[in-house]
Amino acid sequence: MVVTEKKLIEVQPLGGFDQPLTYSTEEDQFKKIQVGSLVQIPLGKRKVIGIVWSFEGKSFKEPTLIRKILAIIQQAPVLTADLMKLASWISNYYSCSIESCIEAMIPASIREGMKPKSRRLIYLAANYQELLVGLKKAPAQTRVVSFLKKENRPTFISKVLESTKTTSATINSLLQKGVISEKKEIVERVAYEDEFLDSAEQVDQSIKLTDEQNIAVEEICRDLDTYKFKTRLLSGVTGSGKTEVYFEAMQQALNQKGSVLFLVPEVALAPQTVSRLRARFDSEKVVVWHSHLSAGERVDAWRSLINQEAKIVVGARSAIFAPLQHLRLIIVDEEHESSYKQEDTPRYHARDVAVVRAKMTSAVCVLGSATPSLESINNVEKGKYGLSRLSKRVDNRELPLVHLVDMRREADKTKNLPILSQQLVEALRDRIANREQSILFLNRRGFNTTMLCPDCGHVEQCKDCSIALTYHRTDGYLRCHLCGFRKPAPKSCNECKSFDLKKKGHGTQRIEDLVASLLPKRAQIRRVDADIMTKKNLFRETLSDFRKGKIDVLVGTQMIAKGLDFPKVTLVGVVDADLPLRMEDFRASERAFQMLVQVSGRAGRGNRAGEVFIQTYAPHSPSIQFARKCDLKGFLEEELEMRKEFNYPPYRHLIRHLFRGRSEAKVEYYTSEWAKLLEKQNLQDLTVKGPAPAPLEKIKGFYRYHFFYFTSSVSTALKQLKEIRAQFPLDPELHDILDVDAQQIS
């Protein structure tokens, strides 16, 4: 009898266990598997699928008790080694299960073992002539044979059937006789193949880089040439040509036989980027990776990356998990966008994961923005990130002229809160007359419950947290959603004593109708908002129509503020600039500033100068003033000072702890118990704020209360919190969840 040696391996089960487990394999099995292979394993009484996690199986059990893997399902790894390391990191840092990370990494269609789509090809067998006897009586079969002879290579069955006007019965009969043979070939589905060709024309191949662009390119290439991990912030004003810099850097990474990951903040921006990339790197295969791909497209994209056929991936947040091999460069465009943070488990931030993945693969990460996040600025100041700057628009194009429209005066005129100012309407009419394009920008819907004084623009704030207080209709109180502070809502403005406190907000639909009624009939007006985004192609089509000049005025929410490059737009109107400022979030000023600079940046990108109108009730607020002058430095200085004073991010990490349940009494009771328990602890490096009702206090019948923890070390904070939480018996009807580096605090 041959005694085969047993090897121990670690396998991460998919389905129900959140830690890799040790299994044994036979020697010959062991030789076949790789880290990342799929295997079938016993788990309790079930048989489940697992991913081979490492060859370092450790066991505290008797060797005889270690269970054997049942079968190898797929030898080829389903995840690259760095992604597996990344899954472990994410599960630790964001306090979620490894399995939820794997689910985010491997598309469901792959997990379910979906095979790539293949098509049948037929060709003449080598000895076909010997077998031809008797075919004379079968003219259809003869036609097929002569057709294949002429083609002289394997041909798709569909083509043969069509060209020879035969049926599949004829083919089958020839196959049976052995006259022809068949093979299968995998067909590729290429997403976005022919789309946006209209926008490709604007890619000018003969672009000569500006001096600033050249310097930035040199700096990134130098980073790449060290073959060491490096993160660099590319801070460049809108229209400064950051994309050209990315492209040059990508060229260098490709020259190094490496691959490139290009992240954009919004799925809808992928086609624009893809068409520019395809025009520039025409010999390279560009893979699009995002959540709107069909299952088939996804499988193909996945396979071409695993096979290393494709070296460029473009996509939104989840593309950070594309299984690229030999990763050399990760670009995160518009790195400040909060859409990079996933608001579901696993609650990862794709920008931060990009930096970690780059580190794990000794790659270079470039974070680009006209309005960098305070987190990234802080990392530059600490020396963790390098910095490259583009301070001018290309061709010395002017930054747009920004007018502030003081809506308090407009309110005087009409005794109502007006939606569009006279100035903005005039400017719109002007553009229609000159056949130029305009964008009207509306803020995302706020929670609409803060109180604004239309006479002086004052908004009541919490003294301790420096965020807007929220009005609660039920009890008539103003509340702080960070610390829970509350006081009765004032009857008149605390600042100017006006009695006319109003709440305001307008939908995109209403604005669209209003604009239509104010402009000449022939003006083409279109709306882009969340409703439209849900229809797969409508948004892309709208953008394409706008680019072609079929639309005069585009009305929309924040999605039209991001990264779009429309050279014919000469007017941008911001309908309500104050909304972000009134939000119950300490990032309100940062969001307002970023939004205003970004939207303004959509104007005047072509040869004609742009004009921007910002309608505001708070023309003197710092973020609006700094945005008007596009003064990034001034804004950063002021905002960082505030953050430092309150010890907010980026100076400390923010962990949000959300409790929810159907019974408000229970949620209130358990959160106050949790607060008491925390108070008794000797917490290290952990400041607790709360409990407070969340700004969206009730969603789908669930009441929501939250805590905010501020800490300089996520891992020590989580360690303490988890230990205490383990001793806290929460009512089974309640759920709680931790959101590390929370962005949205609604």
Residue numbers at the binding site for ligand ADP (CB under 6 A): 204, 207-210, 213, 236, 238-244, 394-395, 565, 605
User: What gap in Å lies between CA 18 and CA 641, rounded to an integer?
Assistant: 42
Q: Decide the pairing of beta strands 553-556 and 230-236.
A: unpaired
C-beta closer to Zn ion: residue 18 or 464 = 464
Residue 598 binds what, of ligand ADP, Zn ion, none (CB under 5 to 8 Å, by partner type)?
none
- Of the pair 264, 419, the CB lying nearest ligand ADP is at 264
Are 200 and 355 in contact, with CB atoms under 8 Å apart?
no
List the end-to-end C-alpha distance of the chain, in Å, as a whole number: 67
136: partner contacted, choices ligand ADP, Zn ion, none (Cβ within 5-8 A by kind): none
Q: Which does 456 bind (CB under 5 to 8 A by kind): Zn ion, ligand ADP, none?
A: Zn ion
Q: What share of the chain is helix, strand, coil (3-state, %, to 5)?
A: 35, 25, 40
The three-state secondary structure class of 704 is: strand
Residues in the chain: 746
423-431 LR contacts (CB < 8 Å, sep 24+): 423/613, 424/573, 424/613, 424/615, 425/518, 427/571, 427/573, 427/611, 427/613, 428/515, 428/518, 428/519, 428/553, 428/571, 428/573, 429/518, 429/519, 429/520, 430/571, 431/552, 431/553, 431/570, 431/571
Nearest to 334 by CA among 564, 655, 113: 564
**From the list Zn ion, ligand ADP, none, partner contacted by residue 465 (C-beta under 5 to 8 A by kind):** Zn ion
Q: 166 or 238: whose CB is closer to ligand ADP?
A: 238
Q: Rank residues 57 and 241 by Cβ distance to ligand ADP and give the closer one.
A: 241
Smallest distance from Zn ion to CB 694, Å: 14
464 contacts which partner out of ligand ADP, Zn ion, none, CB within 5 to 8 A by kind? Zn ion
List all residues 6 or more positions away from 315 whose beta carbon is below 8 Å from its beta carbon: 262, 263, 264, 267, 270, 288, 289, 290, 322
Query: What DSSP line would sit under 588-637, residue for residue?
Result: HHHHHHHHHHHHHTTSS-SSS--EEEEEES-TTSHHHHHHHTT-HHHHHH
Residue 462 contact, options ligand ADP, Zn ion, none, Cβ 5-8 Å cut-off depending on partner type: Zn ion
**Smallest separation (angstroms) from ligand ADP to the CB of 605:** 6
Cβ 156 to ligand ADP shortest distance, Å: 40
Complex with Zn ion: residue 59 or 746, whichever CB lies closer = 746
CB of 211 vs ligand ADP, minimal distance in Å:
10
Minimum CB distance to ligand ADP, residue 389 (Å): 12
The residue among 130 and 500 lying less far from Zn ion, judged by its C-beta, is 500
Q: Which is nearer to Zn ion, 617 or 635 (CB)?
A: 617
Return the DSSP state at 405.
E
Residue 144 interface partner, choices Zn ion, ligand ADP, none, CB cut-off 5-8 Å depending on type: none
Shortest distance in whole angstroms from residue 469 CB to Zn ion: 8
Q: How far from chain centre, in Å, is Cα 487?
A: 38
Instruction: Name the packing angle between helices 168-177 and 139-151 (round to 10°).
Output: 80
Per DSSP (E only), the strands in 270-323 are: 286-289, 312-315
Select the binding partner of residue 213 from Zn ion, ligand ADP, none (C-beta < 5 to 8 A, by kind): ligand ADP
User: How far apart are CB 497 and Zn ion at their closest, in Å?
Assistant: 7
Q: Which is nearer to ligand ADP, 217 or 299 (CB)?
A: 217
Closest distance of CB 724 from Zn ion, Å: 23
Applying CB under 5 A, the residues found at the interface with Zn ion are 453, 455-456, 458, 462, 464-465, 480, 482-483, 485, 493, 495-496, 498
Q: Which does 496 bind (CB under 5 to 8 A by kind): Zn ion, ligand ADP, none?
A: Zn ion
Strands, E, within 138-179: which ranges? 155-156
| Residue 198 CA: distances (Å) to CA of 203, 533, 545, 551 | 10, 21, 10, 15
Question: Which of residues 351 and 479 has its CB atom nearest to ligand ADP in the complex?
Answer: 351
Comparison of 125 and 394: residue with beta carbon closer to ligand ADP? 394
From Zn ion, ligand ADP, none, interface partner of 209 (C-beta below 5 to 8 A by class): ligand ADP
Query: What whole-number distance in Å separates Cα of residue 110 and Cα of residue 617?
Result: 52
**Are 237 and 390 in contact, with CB atoms under 8 Å apart?**
yes
CB of residue 617 vs Zn ion: minimum separation in angstroms?
10
Partner in contact with 394, chosen from ligand ADP, Zn ion, none, beta carbon below 5 to 8 Å by kind: ligand ADP
Identify which of residues 277 and 356 has a Cβ nearer to ligand ADP in the complex. 277
Closer by beta carbon to Zn ion, 424 or else 451 = 451
Name the residue nearer to ligand ADP (CB basis): 38 or 399: 399
Query: What is the Cα–Cα distance from 636 to 677, expressed in whole angstroms?
Result: 38
Residue 648 CB, nearest distance to Zn ion (Å)? 12
**Gyration radius (Cα) of the chain, Å:** 30
Residue 239 touches which member of Zn ion, ligand ADP, none, C-beta under 5-8 Å by kind:
ligand ADP
Least distance from ligand ADP to the Cβ atom of residue 606, Å: 8
How far is 72 from 21, CA to CA, in rounded Å? 16
Question: Closest approach of Cβ 352 to Zn ion, in Å?
Answer: 27
- Minimum Å gap between C-beta 494 and Zn ion is 8
At its nearest, how many Å lie between Zn ion and the CB of residue 465? Answer: 3
Return the number of the residue (598 or 720) whose C-beta is nearest ligand ADP: 598
User: 263 vs 515, which CB is nearer to ligand ADP?
Assistant: 263
Give me the phi and psi of 375, to 5 degrees please. -60, -45
Angle at CA 561, nearest 5°, toward 557 and 563?
145
Q: List helix spans (H) across 608-713.
A: 622-628, 632-646, 664-680
Closest distance to Zn ion from the beta carbon of 458 (Å): 4
Which partner in Zn ion, ligand ADP, none is near 125 (CB below 5 to 8 A by kind)?
Answer: none
Spatial neighbors of 399 by CB under 8 A, at least 6 apart, are 237, 238, 239, 393, 600, 604, 630
Select from Zn ion, ligand ADP, none the partner in contact with residue 5, using the beta carbon and a kind-dependent cut-off of 5 to 8 Å: none
Partner interacting with residue 565 (select from Zn ion, ligand ADP, none; CB below 5-8 Å by kind): ligand ADP
Name the 3-class secondary structure at 37: coil
CA separation for the pair 288, 192 (Å, rounded): 8
Strand order in the sheet with 230-236: 286-289, 312-315, 259-263, 327-333, 364-369, 230-236, 386-390
